[in-house]
């Protein structure tokens, strides 16, 4: 049984070198069609952080913060994404896809989030630090050790 391998994409030029009217999608791996993100409430209590941990225990998910808004990101490929990274239902795609603009899309792959969590352990560590600094819980980590003496 043979496996279909999608044809290689043309060299990906920097966005600024694209010609007027040229669409960046023809050079892209369709990152925008490989996940969706939903805003979630900013966690403020241990219970809130427990929900975040639970989300991440399900795999194929992450949590990030952008412009002070928290998001649950679900890493799932759109079922209408074809092997050539084009949309199979482009003419009848959902309104959210129609509203999406390539003006600020992830074409350059240089997205950096204020915070990004991939594991429940990362959320736990962050929660420990944040809640302890607010007086919302005991610190579970040991205190910073004293500096070693300088040997001269």
Coil, helix or strand at residue 116: strand
> Could you give the CA distance from residue 31 to residue 95 in angstroms, rounded to a whole number?
18
User: Burial, 143: exposed, middle or buried (Cβ in 10 Å; 0-12, 13-18, 19+)?
Assistant: exposed
* Predicted model pTM: 0.74
pLDDT digits (tens, 9 = 90+) for 62-101: 999 999 999 999 999 999 999 988 999 999 999 999 999 8
- The verdict on residue 83 lying in a domain is yes
> Could you give the CA distance from residue 137 to residue 125 in angstroms, rounded to a whole number?
12
* Higher local confidence (pLDDT), 27 or 152: 27
Q: In this structure, what token pair is assigned to residue 109?
A: 């792959």
Domain interval for residue 112: 15-130
Q: Are 120 and 53 in contact (CB under 8 A)?
A: yes
- The verdict on residue 4 lying in a domain is no
Q: Which of 50-59, 107-116, 142-151 has the highest mean pLDDT?
A: 50-59
- The verdict on residue 139 lying in a domain is no
Q: pLDDT at residue 4 above 60? A: no
Band of residue 57 on the pLDDT scale cut at 50, 70, 90:
very high
Number of domains comprising the chain:
1
- The verdict on residue 136 lying in a domain is no
- The verdict on residue 73 lying in a domain is yes
């Amino acid at each position: 049984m043979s496996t279909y391998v999608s044809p290689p994409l043309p060299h990906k030029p920097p966005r600024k070198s694209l010609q007027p009217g040229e669409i960046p999608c023809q050079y892209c791996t369709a990152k925008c069609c490989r996940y969706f993100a939903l805003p979630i409430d900013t966690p403020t209590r241990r219970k809130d952080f427990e929900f975040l941990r639970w989300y991440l225990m399900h795999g194929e998910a992450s949590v990030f913060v952008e412009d002070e808004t928290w998001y649950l990101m679900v890493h799932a490929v759109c079922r209408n994404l074809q092997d050539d990274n084009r949309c199979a239902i482009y003419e009848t795609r959902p309104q959210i896809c129609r509203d999406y603009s390539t003006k600020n899309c992830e074409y350059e792959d240089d997205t950096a989030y204020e915070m990004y969590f991939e594991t429940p352990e990362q959320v736990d560590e962050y929660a420990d630090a944040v809640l302890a600094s607010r007086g919302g819980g005991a610190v579970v980590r040991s205190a910073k050790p004293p500096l070693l003496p300088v040997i001269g």
